[in-house]
Each structure stands twice: as C-alpha cells, then as structure tokens.
Structure 1
Amino acid sequence: MWFGTWAQTLETVVSIVAAYVLALPLAFEREVRGRAGPGLRTMPLVSVGACGYLLISRFLYERGVYDADGLFRTLRSVMTGIGFIGGGVILKGTRDVRGLATGAAVWMSGALGAAVGLGYYEIAVVLGLANVLVLEIQRRLARLARARSREA
C-alpha cells in the first residue's frame, strides 16, 4: 500500500539520481587509476543504497513512526555496514597495506549518499568534490615522494 505523495515520489527520484551522479566522479577516479576493487559500479551503488535507507528512515520520521533517535540509529547502522564493505578492499601484505584510500572512498561515497538522503545536497556536493580533490592531491604527492626517494 502506497502512502507517499507525488512530492515525496519526486524527491525520492531526484535524491537517488543525485546520489548516483555525485558518486560517479569518485568512482571514475578510482577506475581510471586502475585501482583494484570498487569502481564505477560499487561506489554509486553504495551511495544510492545509503541514500535509499536514509530516505526511508526520514520519511518514517516525518510520519511519526520513528523518533529522531531512530533516524540516527539508521544512519549509524548504514555507515557501519559501509565501513565493512570499505574494509573488504584493504589488503595487508607483509610489508605494506594497500587499498586504504579506496576503502575510505567507499565509506565517503556512503556519507555522500546519506547526506543526499537526509536532504543535505550541499554537503553531498562538497563531499564529492573533496573526495576527488583529496584523491588527486594524494596521487600527485605520492608520485612526488617516489621521485624524491629515487633521487636520494
């Protein structure tokens, strides 16, 4: 049985599309760099999934089914689950750890989707930009560090 309004339906569609679109640059950056694990499919799925759970929780809150604590329990649970996914891409070798940035990017794509699901589009946009910026700066700094270590 459907109890939503057309406005709620439109908001749901716009939110899910926004969560998908805002996660694409992050996913594209990981894919282009040839990073193993999450890329063009996983990052948007994490973002859209987080958005969906938070939309459901928010709509239940607006109907009086949840109190504010229920809304925040949902957020906490979603982010914990996404942390588990992100942890799955981190590989520890005998001498190094790989995938930390990708694991953090998965977690951040979930935060981006959660922000959209809660209606905070401006936070989602800033998170998306910050993610790509941090990963790009990190890549350049790592290249510079490798060049310096070869010189020494």
Structure 2
Amino acid sequence: MPPDAVLASLLSPLPEILGAVVAGGLIGLEREWRGRSAGFRTHILVALAACVLMQAAVRQDAWTLSGLTTAQITTDPVRMAHGILTGVGFLCGGVIFRTGFSVHGLTTAASLWISSAIGTLFGVGMSGLGMVAAFATLLILALLRVVSRLLPARTVVYVSLSWERGREDVRRTASSLLRGCDPRARGGEQRLSADDGMWRRQWRLKVTDAALDDLAERLADLPGVRGVQVDPRET
C-alpha cells in the first residue's frame, strides 16, 4: 500500500475517535467531580471502545480475509452495536450496589451506558447526533441537579435501631417518633442477634435537613435503645 494511502487510512477515522473521546471525557469529568466510582478515564475508554469497534464494523472492506476469497460476506454493523451495548451492560452492573434499603450507582451505570451509545454514534459517522446526545447527557447530569436542589429539600434517611429483646415498647415508641417525622416511614429488615440477644430493625423515611440534625439525638434518648445509626443517602 502506498504511503499516502496508509496515512489516509490512519487519519480518516480520527475525527470520529476524537469526538467520542471528548464526549466521553466530558461526561466522565462530571462523574469524577461527583466522586463516583466510574469517572473520567472509565467513560473515555467506554466511548472510545464503542467508537473503535463500530469503525471496524463499518470498514469491513478493509479487513484481511485472504483465506476467504471464495466466500460471500454480508456486513451488518448493527450486530456490533448490539454487542457493544450488551457488553457495557455487564460493566454497568459492576458500579451498582445495594446497602440496606438503598441502591447506589444507577446514575453512573446509566452514564456509562449512554457513553457507549454516544461512542457508537461517532463510530458510524453520526457526529452531529453524538454531540447532541453528549450535550443532553451533561444537561441531565449537571443542570437538572441544580433544579432538584431548588425543590423543597427532603433527604432520604435509613435508620437502624437496636434494643434489648422483650422491649416491644421501644419499637412502638421509635415507630411513632419516625412516623412523626414522615408519616410514610417504612419499616424494613428485622433481625435478632444470637450473640447479644438484641433486636435490630431498619426504617426508611424522608425528612427535611432541619429535622435530620436532631433525629439521631432524639432516637438515642429513647429509653431502652442500645444503638442508633442514621444514614442519609442520595437516591
């Protein structure tokens, strides 16, 4: 192959690859700033991998298939796109985890998945749609968070209490107190420890930031309570 042809083949996919890297980097930068598990480099790699694989799929005429000179080959880049999005779905599962009532990492998993979709768009030459998708993703991740903060501030809180076995009055009093903060407070896991004979129970409720400040202290002052954990979580 002449040097000019080699150079042209190297430079022709460069705009799409750079676009995917920039789009993935911008989304990853927002996640990195939020301190999420998948950040700047991860999103770049996901978008880049999707772009490169799609570039390979749409350029199958350049593949080395000397051993298949008599075969008829049908190209279908859509199958590559399906494989990319399915594979990234397994990667997204690694950033999702559950603690008690709460499930964390859903937004980061979604940002990884949309990064792969954006990389796929750049890979097939749909750079305009890829840039629009990247801008929309950043708008949702960054600016809509500001909008949510302007709404009445209520924090999702997971409360864990422990008390001595036989003290049903503690459970009733704690439930009454928590439902006073949030009438929709919902009880969850209950566990009796064989080691110390303590009952442990969890609740999920939404409270204002002002009520959150003294909730733990009010629970700790309840007669019979031996342990308190108040865990604010982002949904």
The TM-score bracket by the shorter chain reads: 0.7 to 0.9
Which residue matches 1:106?
A: 112
Q: Which amino acid aligns with 2:43?
A: M
Deviation larger for 140-149 or 75-84 = 140-149
Q: TM-score, normalised by structure 2?
A: 0.57
Which residue matches 1:50?
A: 50
Identity %: 33
Q: Unpaired segments of 5 or more residues in structure 2?
A: 64-71, 155-206, 212-235
Alignment pair present for 1:129 and 2:140: no
Deviation larger for 91-100 or 46-55 = 91-100
Which residue matches 2:197?
A: none
Q: TM-score, normalised by structure 1?
A: 0.85
Q: Is the contact made by 1:15 and 1:51 (CA closer than 8 Å) also made in structure 2?
A: yes
* Count of aligned residue pairs for this structure pair: 148
Kindly indicate which of the two structures has a greater share of residues assigned to strand.
2
State the SS of the aligned residue for 1:38. coil
Kindly indicate which of the two structures has a greater share of residues assigned to helix.
1
Instruction: Choose 1 or 2 for highest CA Rg.
Output: 2
Tell me the CA shift for residue 14 of structure 1. 2.0
Deviations 1:66-99 (A, max 9, x none): 42xx211111001100111112111122211111
Give the alignment partner of residue 82 of structure 1, picking from 75, 85, 88: 88
Q: Unpaired segments of 5 or more residues in structure 1?
A: none
Q: Which amino acid aligns with 1:47?
A: A
Kindly tell me: are residues 65 and 22 of structure 1, through their superposed partners in 2, closer, same or farther at Cα, counting changes over 3 Å? farther
Q: Is the contact made by 2:25 and 2:41 (CA closer than 8 Å) also made in structure 1?
A: no
Which residue matches 1:20?
A: 21
Tell me the CA shift for residue 48 of structure 1. 0.3
Question: CA-atom RMSD, angstroms?
Answer: 2.6
Alignment pair present for 1:29 and 2:30: yes
